[in-house]
Amino acid sequence: MAADEQSPEPVLDVALPPQEMIGVELVPRQVMHGARRDRLVGRVSLGVPHVKALDSDALADLGLRHHEGGEDRAYCLLAFAVNFAVNHPDPVLDATVGVVLRNDTAPGSAPVARSLDPLRLARARARTSTIGISAKLGIVEPQVSRGVTDSGGEPFLIADGLGSHEPAWSFRATHHQDLVGPYQLLMVVESPRGAKTSALLALAATVRHSLLGVISYRAEVPPDLALVPLTA
């Protein structure tokens, strides 16, 4: 290898199982003195989350055995999907999918999101059954499409909260992209080793109705779907 050539960054491929999608009811935010509004069903669904611990072998494969934090930190992959109904006359204008990472053993030392994917999307991309985690704790595309980025155009999806315990993905319909179909969301979580940790999922959305106008909603996520154990 020439002196100026760099070794390829090690990547750990992780297979994702098919995700069961569960519909969530959208509860309207009541306006003072406003008419009572009905709940919405069949508009948005969430996938049952998949959690995979990144054990010492995986960390060694990635060259992360001596990563900052060392033996005091543990890592896992959290993956789930959100789906917006297709061909509905009342479109979803925007939505936010939030995650609160919690340390149930020592609340003062919460887990943090070390990587979020997607970070930004200006056009929809196909869901994949395999993703790769890089040695820098970043999530990359499968081998066949690594190196492809989505940096141009008005984004309809932006992630926020990298490095915090409250990451979120914000969706907003654009002239070029409606909010329809499934979107796969992933993060790498860093936690204090040995702590009992969990993630709490939440969703809010705004829908434009042909007769009622624009109404904001929050999702009533079933408890067994909303609360995701990250460690035993």
Confidence band, pLDDT 50/70/90 cuts, at residue 87: confident
Residue 147 has pLDDT above 60, yes or no: no
DSSP character at residue 166: -
Gyration radius from the chain CA atoms? 19
Exposed, middle or buried by CB within 10 Å (0-12, 13-18, 19+), for 52?
A: middle
Alpha carbon distance 153, 47 (integer Å): 28
* Mean pLDDT to the nearest integer, 138-146: 54
Alpha carbon distance 125, 227 (integer Å): 27
Residue 105 has pLDDT above 80, yes or no: yes
Q: Is 224 helix (H, G, I), strand (E, B) or coil?
A: helix
Alpha carbon distance 131, 78 (integer Å): 12
Alpha carbon distance 202, 209 (integer Å): 23
Cβ-contact 122, 153 below 8 angstroms: yes
Cβ-contact 207, 40 below 8 angstroms: yes
Confidence band, pLDDT 50/70/90 cuts, at residue 108: confident
Cβ-contact 40, 217 below 8 angstroms: yes
pLDDT tens digits for range 58-77: 766 665 555 545 678 889 99
Q: 81 or 38, which is more confident?
A: 81
Domain 11-229 matching CATH 2.40.33.10: the answer reads no
pTM confidence score: 0.84
- Residue 72 is predicted with a pLDDT of 84
Helix (H) or strand (E) holding 54: strand 50-54
Residue 13: how many CB atoms within 10 A of its CB?
11
| Location of structure tokens 């009905």 | 38
Alpha carbon distance 128, 185 (integer Å): 11
Residue type at 90?
D
Q: Is 88 helix (H, G, I), strand (E, B) or coil?
A: coil
**With pLDDT > 90 as the criterion, what percentage of the chain qualifies?**
49
